[in-house]
Structures are given as C-alpha cells and as structure tokens.
Structure 1
Amino acid sequence: MAKLLVVDDEPINLDIIANCLEDEHQLSFAHDGLEAWQMLKEEPSLYDGVILDRMMPRMDGMDVLKRLKADTRFRDVPVIMQSAADSSEQVAEGLAAGAWYYLAKPYAPKALRSIVNAALDDRRNRKDLARIGGELHRILCMTDSATFSFRSLDDVTVLSSALAQMCPSPESASMGLAELMLNAVEHGNLGIDYAEKGRLIEDGLWKEEVERRLAEPDQADRHACLSLRREAGRLSFTIFDQGQGFEWRDYLDLDPARAFDSHGRGIAMARHLAFSSLEYQGTGNQVTVTIALTEPDPNKPEAGEDG
C-alpha cells in the first residue's frame, strides 16, 4: 500500500478523504502546511504522494508545493492540490508550480481515487525507468544519431527512460519524451481521441483498451519512430507516427478549461518543463524537440545582438 500525506485544516475534509482512500492506501494527516512540512522533513523518504489543500493557516498549500519542488528529495513525489480556489488563474498557478493535478472542491470520491492511483502509477513507472536508463548511460553518450521503432506502452517506458540519460535533467526529459511518444501511440496509431481517453481513464480501462487495440491484426505492422541527433550543444529528437494527426495547437499550453480533466496536460508540461524547443509539423503526426546540453552563458550576447 502506498503511503500518502493528506494536508487540510478542515477536519471534515480529512474524514472525507480518509473514507475514500483508507482501504487502498496508508494515510497520515497534517492540519496545516507547517505541520506537513515538518512531517516531510523528518521522514523525507516515507511518503509516495501528497494530497494538499491550498488555503490553510500558518503555511498555505502553494508554499508547501514550492518547497517540495525546490527540494531534490521530494521532486518526484506527486502532489495533488485540492481547493475551493478554482479560478482559471489559480488553477494555472498551481499546475505551473508543479502540482501533478488540481482538484476542485467539492469532488466525487471516484475522481479522487482515479487521480491518486494514476499519480502513484506514474511515479512508480518513472522510478523504474530511471533504473533501466542508468545502465545505458555510457553507451548512449557515445551515440551521435540513431532511429528507434516503438509501438507499445512498454516500448515507451523503456525507450524514454533510456534516452533521457543523455540529457542534463533525465527526470524532466524522460517525462517529456514519454508524453510525446505516448501521444504517438494512443492518439496517433491507435486513434484514441481526447474524449474517449477521458472515459476510459474514469472507468479504469485505459491501459486495457490500448493493449486490446495493439493486438488487432491491422496494428501488427504499425509503429511509431523516434530519431535522435546530437548537434552542437544540443540533442534533437523527432517523433513520427502513422496516424492522421490532431489539433496540436490546442495542447501547447496549460488550458484552465481542461484543468479538471484526468488528462490533457502532458504536451504542455513537456513543452514548458522538459525541452528547449518543441515544434509540430503538418497535421501533428510529427514533432521535433531539442534539449540544450550546456547552460547558456549569461554574459554572452544572443545572436543578432551587438557584441
């Protein structure tokens, strides 16, 4: 059972969350942000996730979230922020600060369980990926160009983690590459659209449906490709699928209108957190991203500036 820290200054909210999750997870409780931060510092490796109220006395949820994401011990711990403060600006602020999800009060217990389980699965997958990828680090650092084919969720998991070891920030690179590759598989090759994915996640059937479609005869020879190229001071990755594309412009930024959906943030998060640049071509079945290998010199003028 995963260990979760639940933080809320209202006892009734703690009771609601306990009734919803205590059969599946081990729960600890804090009554404000300062108490939560002390508990986290005392046992930094204890908690697998945090359910965090936004508005609390002594230290509010945003302050706790910023501290978590600034501390290397907690950067991979998913934080689900829950609050009645649900304006577009507040939602965008919470997501930009690093919340894995922003849940508006009141919410259905089914939604909370689904989101918590998805966040915990995501963390477990990324930890496994980091172990796999680390073994390939030396080989990949000697690679100047390569092309890989992938078609399944397992392929995405292994390949994104391995290639991320070439990058200065493997954790963010792994997240970004995995999101784009996953989009190539599910939306591109398998044709699962946004609304259908939402329904499948809500019913707990998303992974099963992906596997079912991959097993269909007309998918046997269908795959996506990832090409990498090492260039001066950067890595370039191009991902291509055999689908018809999608309205990629709608997903380049965090849209508050979709903030409470169970998905739909991956491309925006990848663009802003993982890559130096991200550019879709054509209908959206090809995307190229770059990652800088060296930090820019703040004293060196940009191209086109007077030197």
Structure 2
Amino acid sequence: MNLLAVDDESINLMIIDESLSDKGFNIVKARDGEEALAILNRNEFLFFAIILDRLMPKMDGIELLRKIKHSEKWRDIPVIFQTAMSGVTDMTDGLDAGAFYYLTKPYSRALLVTIVQTAVEHYIKLLKAKEDLHKGMGALRHLVNGEFRIKSIKESHELAPILANACPDPERVLTGIMEILNNAIEHGNLGISYQEKTDLHNNDKLMEEIFHRLNLPEYKEKFVQVLFTKSHDKIEIIIKDQGKGFDWRKYLSLQAMTKNAFKTHGRGIFMARKLSFDDLTYEDEGSKAIITIMLTGNSSELLTDFQES
C-alpha cells in the first residue's frame, strides 16, 4: 500500500520510512507541498493515506491540505497532519482545511504506526462502501419513510450506502452515517467503552472483540433501529441503540476534538456533524442519535412531485 509522506526535514522522512516500510507500506516522499502536488497529479500511485507536515517552504501543509480536500480525486484520502502547533486555533485551522488525524512532534514510532493503520483501515472501509454506493441505487432518492434494524458492523456497512443514496449528496453523508451506525453497535449495544476501544486498537484486537461480543447471550439479540424520514425541507435519520447511552456532549465540542485529535479515535461524531450533516444531536442519554440533512430546492421539488404522483 502506498503512502505519501510530505516533509521538508530529511530526518522526519527517514523515520516515517523506517517505521512503516516493514509494515507493508511503500513510502513515496516529497519535500514540500509543490512536489507533493506534482506527485499526486502524475497519478502513478494509489495512495491510502497522506502524512503531511504543516510548516514547509513553497507550499505549506494547510494550503496543500485544502487543495487535496477540494479535489474530487483525492478528497477522501485520509490526511495525517504532523505539527508541533497544538493550540486550539491551530487545530481549528487544520479541521477547517480537512485534517482528520494528527501527530504532534515529537511522536513515537509506535503511535505513528497505530495512527497510519487506523487511517488506512478507515479508508479501505470507505472505498468498499463507495463501491456499494454506485451499484444502481439511484432510485433510493425517492425514499420518503423507512425503518431498518441491524445488529453487526457488516450490516451497518450494508445499510450506510442505502441511506446515503436516499440523500441529495450521497458521498458527503456516507462517512458520517457509517460512523454513527458503527458507534451505535460498538459503544451502544456491545458496551465497548472509550478506554476499552483504545486498548483494543493498540493491540489490534478491536474487530476480534466485536465478533466475540456479538455472539454472547447478553448482546446477540440486541439491534439498532434506524428510522428514515424525508419532509419537504429536510431528511431526518434517527439511529437508536439498546445501550446505556454516553455523555455525547463531551464528543461534540471543539474542546473534546482538540483533546482527542492526537488519538486513534474519539472524534468521529464531531467530524460527522462538521463534514457530513447539517446537524447531529442526541437524546435518551446518548442512545438515540438524530441526524438532520437539509434539502436543496431541487430536492424538495422532487419529493413534492413524488408524493403527488
């Protein structure tokens, strides 16, 4: 798997290469944003992640990040932002530009490997979901009301493209819907805590634990209920799990995002609300997620025509 590493410091590129090459990654190196952009434009490599330094000559990391995220070809590639600037303003600049993963300098090689593996796994799941997104499900834009019930991560990945295709901008909402569905299963129904997920991630045991719990008597009959409703001006998706809930406010604040930005998880619902939805809130002590997607004038007219026909 190819990774693009962009840094003007040779020692940093050497550390990235030595840390990741023996994990099965091929590291393509660039010394500034302009060189990285030229490599991307040549289309020689399929990149599974980009490791990007913030402060560089010619074109800095923020400018390159914005160009990547505004490109239809590259915008879904996860970008791991390297920075020694970890203030709230600096973090907000990175978030606004499209960064999702962070590494603060100096960092350990173990953390680098964990963050990269997490980013690549996320991207592979997204690529699979996007394949399903384009498999003849265009008629789902006419869906007005629907109820679904799922139990496993596999089923959440099957349902997410269906729900996304019922929305006016499927690619925009797909990642966010996957995140909320996965949270409902992992943290809600299966009761995997934040700290447990951290430990499982670090030991590469998360999926093994998910499959184990899905077969335990206390979890195997639990399901996540998903309600889809389209009105004249918005789409509302309610995702209700059978867990005990969680303090969702901690994970939707900018303060929480900056706290969790340098970790492998803990910022998914923040990014989902910021990038995928017009609003995301929770009820029932966190066991019920309410997603809001506003409709354009054209989408509203389509719905009206459909309801009248």
Contact 2:2/2:45, CA 8 A, preserved across alignment? no
Report deviation, 1:87.
2.1
Q: Deviations over 1:108-157 (max 9, x none)?
A: 11111111111111111111112213225234223211111111111111
SS of match in other structure, 1:48: strand
Please give the per-residue CA displacement for 1:225-278, whole angstroms capped at 9, x wherever unaligned. 101011113211000011111001111134212221210111111111111222
Larger mean Cα displacement after TM superposition, 18-27 or 136-145: 136-145
Moved more, 36-45 or 223-232: 36-45
Partner in structure 1 of residue 80 of structure 2: 80
Give the TM-score normalised by the residue count of structure 1. Answer: 0.92
**Letter aligned with residue 119 of structure 1:** A
Which TM-score applies when normalising by structure 2?
A: 0.91
* 1:18 alignment partner in structure 2: 17
Q: Percent identity?
A: 38
Question: Of the candidates 280, 283, 303, which is equivalent to residue 281 of structure 1?
Answer: 283
Contact 1:134 1:162 in 2 (8 A): no
- 1:133 matched to which residue of 2? 133
State how 1:113-132 maps to structure 2 within 5 Å.
113-132=113-132
Query: Which runs of 5 or more structure 2 residues have no equivalent in the other structure?
Result: 299-309
Aligned partners of 1:208 and 1:235: how far apart in 2? 35
Note if contact 2:150-2:223 (Cα within 8 Å) is conserved in structure 1.
yes
Closer/same/farther in 2, CA of residues 138 and 58 from structure 1, 3 Å limit? closer
Q: In the alignment, which residue of structure 2 is the partner of 1:217?
A: 217
Aligned counterpart, 1:299: none
- Structure 2 CA distance, aligned partners of 1:145 and 1:5? 43
Once residues 227 and 297 of structure 2 are traced to their aligned partners in structure 1, the CA distance between those partners, rounded to angstroms, is 24
Structure 1 residue ranges (4+ consecutive) displaced by more than 4 angstroms after TM superposition: none
Question: Are residue 259 (structure 1) and residue 261 (structure 2) matched?
Answer: yes
Cα distance, 1:169 vs. partner?
Answer: 2.2
How far off its partner does 1:295 sit?
5.7
Question: What residue is the counterpart of 1:4 in the other structure?
Answer: 3
Structure 1 residue runs without a partner (length 5+)? 297-307
Greater fraction of residues in helix? 2
Cα contact 1:238–1:286 (8 A) shared by 2? yes
Contact 1:33 1:60 in 2 (8 A): yes
Given that 2:188 and 2:244 are in contact with CA atoms closer than 8 Å, whether structure 1 keeps it comes out as yes
How does 1:191-270 map onto structure 2 within 5 Å?
191-254=191-254, 255=256, 256-270=258-272
State the alpha-carbon separation in 1 of the partners of residues 62 and 231 from structure 2.
39
> Does the 8 A contact of 1:91 with 1:102 survive in 2?
no
Give the match's secondary structure for 2:86.
coil
Instruction: Using the TM superposition, give the Cα deviation of residue 89 of structure 1 relative to its aligned residue in structure 2, in angstroms.
Output: 2.2
Q: CA RMSD in A?
A: 1.6
